[in-house]
Structure 1
Amino acid sequence: MTTSSSTLSPTLFDEALAPWFCRGEVFLLYGYTMQSKSSYPPQSAFSNLEGASSYADPCVTGEFKGGLSSIAIIRYTDTPIGPYDELIWIPGKFTSPPNDNPSHRIGRMYVSSRDAVYNGRRNWNFPRQLAHFSFTPNPDETGTLTYTKVSVAPISNPDQPFFVADFTTTWITRPILSLNTLHSSRPMWFTTPPLPQSINWYEDGRIGTTRWCRVRPIIKGKMGLIRCKGGLEDGKFGDDLGFPDVHPFSLGMWLPDAEVAWRIGMRLVKKVGTKFVQKVGE
């Protein structure tokens, strides 16, 4: 039986300021874009709202530099606003302020909770929007891997997914390896431009912001390796509309019970010398 999630909250949002210390099941897939081939990501790499704004304009918010790309699927079991699901697409690095240093930037970000949309945009400039998630449990109850398929679809059409990933086990799927991104020699920082605001933000949660934001996610837990392939037609992960036609490596990482920390975002403040400083609730 497939389990699904896509929750709608009351009119008022459940506000929760950073930092967030969460737990959940995490799937991580990686790819790489050579800089010589790093033309700006396609239109499908951004939502219609962000794609039509300066968020996705290289002349305003920085050129695309390629490098490590990644997909993260997180089934949060414990957060300040309750459980929800998340799909993140990171195309690679973009030139970012204050010194045009390349930094990772999120292209697409879907969640199953409207409160998560609102808080993610408010706290960290995350370009979140609401979607319907389906997780297909492993039919082999004695197996290690909990899910064999993850599908993400529009709220308005949950039977037509724009992203599907199929997972199978490897010889080392059992989570016996340790991962702690806090100790990574090459930490992944997200530096995100100001967000545009939806006309219906009070309904969909997509509020706008006015300052750049920088944050480093921390993921900690025991992991195993999994094989992954696209579950759409022709083995694609994305339909190139709601999600780009990506080509991650066939091996990914799986953390069945991870600690995920989203700390207070640092805002770009020009009046103190054009640098990032920690600001709460802005």
Structure 2
Amino acid sequence: MTNEYDIKVAPGPWECTGESWWFPCYPLGGNNNNVPGAAHPLDFYPGVNDKFDGGLGMIMVVRYTGGPVGPYDEIVYMPGYYGTPYASSSRYRITNIYVSTKEALYNGRLHWNTPKHLAVFNFEKSETTGHTTITVAHPETPENPFFFAVVKNIPIISSIGIPMNTGLFPLNLELHQPNLRAVDTPEGKANGETGTDKWHVFYPWMGGKARFMKCVDIKNGNGDGTWPDKIDGVWGAVLKWDPGMKLRFPLSVGKSNL
């Protein structure tokens, strides 16, 4: 089944495989994350991201090799915990996210309220240094990435792969995603940047073998407000999930707006 723009419709649950790089970050206080680009300006209604409670945040880069909509790349910004009308305590929220295909974009917005937009991804591994360079840019300006990172192995430490899954983490990773505004332009409609009318609540799961690497260089933003120019407390340690990692995105629970 496809939508009116010939984009495949793939409802959850999703079972995917891939590899990932996690860049932990820790906003040290208050609403420090509420800078231009922390949430994409086209997606959320005014005031919906004001109740920020901090906590461990994350930039996640994922290369999906298999799943209901095929291979695609993704970068996720999850600043930390936010207040939600559907739980007594705050929950995590994805506030900015880019993917490389329209199928991933449309279905993520429609079924999980993840505010996806299109981007161009590039991954280069140096044969001489072993460093991996990751860049993400808008399709219109591929030469001006809004995310740039270089990661490398840590001697001995990076050779040790540790079996793990997110169910073992001492964090409540249930996501509470507010409803989205549609990008009401011909290009937005053609890309699948649909709006939604309910909050969505779901608990993704990830498992596989992971190892620690070192981030030797990282830059965020390019001044246009579509990705934060500054992200508080990005750490030098990167958690690298090996190829073959499994990801599960369950059916979300739609919540009527209060």
Same fold (TM over 0.5): yes
**Which residues in structure 2 correspond to 1:5-154 (within 5 Å)?**
11-35=5-29, 37-39=30-32, 41-50=34-43, 53-54=44-45, 57-58=46-47, 60=48, 62-99=50-87, 101-140=89-128, 148-154=132-138
1:212 aligns to what SS in structure 2? strand
CA displacement at 1:207 relative to structure 2? 0.3
CA displacement at 1:99 relative to structure 2? 4.2
CA displacement at 1:204 relative to structure 2? 1.6
Count of residue correspondences: 249
Percent of residue pairs bearing the same amino acid type = 28
| 117-126 vs 193-202, which moves further | 193-202
Distance in 2 of aligned mates of 1:124 and 1:43: 23
The equivalent residue for 1:5 is none
**Which residues in structure 2 correspond to 1:140-219 (within 5 Å)?**
140=128, 148-171=132-155, 172-199=157-184, 200=186, 201-219=188-206
Q: Deviations over 1:41-66 (max 9, x none)?
A: 1121122312xx41xx33x4551111
Q: TM-score, normalised by structure 1?
A: 0.82
One-letter identity of the residue aligned with 1:125: N
Are residue 239 (structure 1) and residue 222 (structure 2) matched? Answer: yes
Change (3 A) 1:253 1:213: same
Check conservation: 1:62, 1:96, Cα contact below 8 A: no
1:34 aligns to what SS in structure 2? coil
Distance in 2 of aligned mates of 1:24 and 1:249: 23
One-letter identity of the residue aligned with 2:134: V
CA displacement at 1:185 relative to structure 2? 3.2
C-alpha RMSD of the superposition:
2.2
Check conservation: 1:218, 1:261, Cα contact below 8 A: yes
Distance in 1 of aligned mates of 2:212 and 2:255: 37
Q: TM-score, normalised by structure 2?
A: 0.89
Distance in 1 of aligned mates of 2:181 and 2:4: 23
Check conservation: 1:91, 1:106, Cα contact below 8 A: yes
Distance in 1 of aligned mates of 2:4 and 2:138: 20
Change (3 A) 1:40 1:222: closer
| 127-136 vs 241-250, which moves further | 241-250
Structure number with the higher helix fraction is 1
Which runs of 5 or more residues in structure 1 are unaligned? 1-8, 275-282
Check conservation: 2:167, 2:205, Cα contact below 8 A: yes
CA displacement at 1:156 relative to structure 2? 0.7
